[in-house]
Amino acid sequence: MGAKAKKAMKKQLSKASAQLTASSHKNKEAAAPPATAIVTASTAADFLPLEGGPARKLPQEKPTEDVATVLYIGRIPHGFYEKEMEGFFGQFGSIKKLRIARNKKTGKSKHFGFIEFEDPQVAKVVADTMHNYLLFEHVLQVHLIPPQKVHPKLWKGFNYRVRPVNWVQIERKRQDKERTVEEHKKLMGKIVKRDLKRQKKIEAAGIDYKCPEIVGSSEEPAPKKRKTDRKKVVSK
């Protein structure tokens, strides 16, 4: 095969390859959609309904309303009790219930309490304005208590007036009780020791004074007569 034949073959091969590339480009352009069609298809796909039926509407969340009406009040000063608190906090709104924690034995205030208002908005205003309020050198601590955290027995006996223990009567009974011989000796021994200390202080001060003797310091208490002895005496 000569040189001329080889050149003719190369020309034919180059022409055939050029025709093939041109036809392939035309097929790709015909198959590919325009850019606008792609955008519309993507947006339509985003808004397609879910499988299994139409899309459900989500429930609208309502804003939570203030329902708390019970307030905790801490660091209540001495003398600021139920009547004073009712008159002071009654300026904000009508009070439904009021209670101060007290000691069951002494009846003294534990310096904290609870107030319930009829209107929840009033309770919120009181909590905002009276928290960290300086009253009689005490900084009040006022907080709202959620309804689910209010103890069911919080207002049990809230209007019950605590009667303090009568310590005078208890001490009177303790002093007037009947003592045994050993208890009497022990008591008289304490009295004699106290009297000797008093005499030494008087002598040290240079005062010439003789303290009277304590009656019954050495004598034992006479035993009480029984009911049987009294009956015998009457029979005689």
75: left (phi over 0), alpha (psi -120 to 50) or beta: left
Beta bridge partners of 143: 72
Q: Bigger pLDDT: 4 or 181?
A: 181
Residue 120, classified by CB atoms within 10 Å of its CB into exposed (0-12), middle (13-18) or buried (19+), is middle
- What pLDDT shows up at residue 41? 47
The DSSP-derived string for 56-96 is PPPPPPPPPP----EEEEE-PPTT--HHHHHHHHTTTS-EE
Per-residue pLDDT reduced to its tens digit, 179-193 = 899 998 998 999 999
- What pLDDT shows up at residue 121? 94
Query: Can you tell me the mean pLDDT for 92-106?
Result: 90
- The domain segmentation of the chain, as residue ranges, is 70-149, 178-217
Number of Cβ within a 10 Å radius of residue 71: 23
Per-residue pLDDT reduced to its tens digit, 52-63 = 556 666 666 665
pLDDT of 48 over the 60 cut: no
Q: What is the pTM of this model?
A: 0.47
Q: What is the CATH number of domain 70-149?
A: 3.30.70.330
- What pLDDT shows up at residue 98? 94
* Confidence at 205, pLDDT banded by 50, 70, 90: very high
Per-residue pLDDT reduced to its tens digit, 142-174 = 999 999 999 999 998 776 666 777 889 999 998
